[in-house]
Amino acid sequence: MTASGTFGYGIEFADLVNLSDIGGIIVKGTTLHPREGNDYPRMAETASGMLNCVGLQNKGVDYFCKNIYPKIKDIDTNMIVNVSGSSIEDYALCAARINELERIPAIELNISCPNVKQGGMAFGVTSKGARAVVEAVRKAYDKTLIVKLSPNVTDIAEIALAVEDAGADAVSLINTLMGMAIDINRRCPKLSINTGGLSGPAVKPVALRMVWQVAKAVKIPVVGLGGISTTEDAIEFLMAGASAVQIGTANFIDPAVSVKIAQGISRWLDQHKYKSVQEIIGAV
């Protein structure tokens, strides 16, 4: 699958990759009301990764349903909407709107965006907050509910257990790690809101460790992401216990990387005489 915020609505990449070859496309974070996002500059390149502080720029769920959904509903893959909000009511109302869309089989609940002052990550860093959002959304949404977890916590497994107990069908992790970069000549942060979320290969070992911890703790499926850019990276996540993986920042460097990795996993399984990917999930 492609990770939210790294693959637009899929259509931006239609010239470059056969979208139906991707297992799922998780579209950009959608909120109840339109959001302008944060000021420029919103990104900084770092060693083997990047920081971003986009701040959930999107035109709101009404615009999505009216103008974007008709354009993406016939893409032959799982089109999943990432839902974010700044209050429990907003999350539930937004999820309820997406629930009406026939061709959207699942949502990914973003309780882990580090770049929005109110809400977002605030819900995802305590078990109580995470549980409250998921319980409210569960009542408003009856299809597959994936909850995206924040790595900016002391014990991610504890949050995952709370989310599972509140009715999540799956968890995905990790969202970006909060970080910072400074322009030493100007003596100021490189990002407009000072801090941002780190992604890319730099975060992969952290993400892998967290996927391993969460997969041991919960019974629901775990979707692994964080710095995956090669077939071998993806297989590591599967062996750590992920049932599926998302490709994020790597899409910026190779727009077709997700398909290459999906094909690479199949090839690797054949070469190593595995009959099914199930045989390697959680194999460590």
In the complex, which residues of this chain contact other proteins (CB under 8 A)?
5-8, 12-13, 15-16, 28, 36-37, 39-50, 52, 54, 57, 200, 249, 251-256
User: Is 188 designated active site?
Assistant: no
Rounded CA-CA distance 158/268 in Å is: 34
**What 3 state SS string does 186-226 have?**
CCEECCCCCEEEEECHHHHHHHHHHHHHHHHHCCCCEEECC
Exactly one of 53, 65, 113, 188 is catalytic; name it.
113
Rounded CA-CA distance 27/7 in Å is: 7
Q: Which is nearer to other proteins, 85 or 227 (CB)?
A: 227
Least Å distance, CB 219 to other proteins, is 34
Q: Which is nearer to other proteins, 57 or 126 (CB)?
A: 57
Rounded CA-CA distance 238/49 in Å is: 22
Alpha-carbon dihedral of residues 107, 262, 149, 115, nearest 10 degrees?
A: -90
Least Å distance, CB 206 to other proteins, is 17
DSSP string, 249-261: THHHH-TTHHHHH
Q: Which is nearer to other proteins, 152 or 229 (CB)?
A: 229
Alpha-carbon dihedral of residues 198, 202, 206, 210, nearest 10 degrees?
A: 70
Least Å distance, CB 234 to other proteins, is 19
| CA 133 remoteness from chain centre | 17
DSSP-derived 3-state class of residue 46: strand
Q: Which is nearer to other proteins, 49 or 85 (CB)?
A: 49
Q: Which is nearer to other proteins, 110 or 251 (CB)?
A: 251
Q: Are 1 and 24 in contact (CB under 8 A)?
A: yes
Least Å distance, CB 92 to other proteins, is 25
Least Å distance, CB 107 to other proteins, is 19
Just list the catalytic residues. Answer: 113
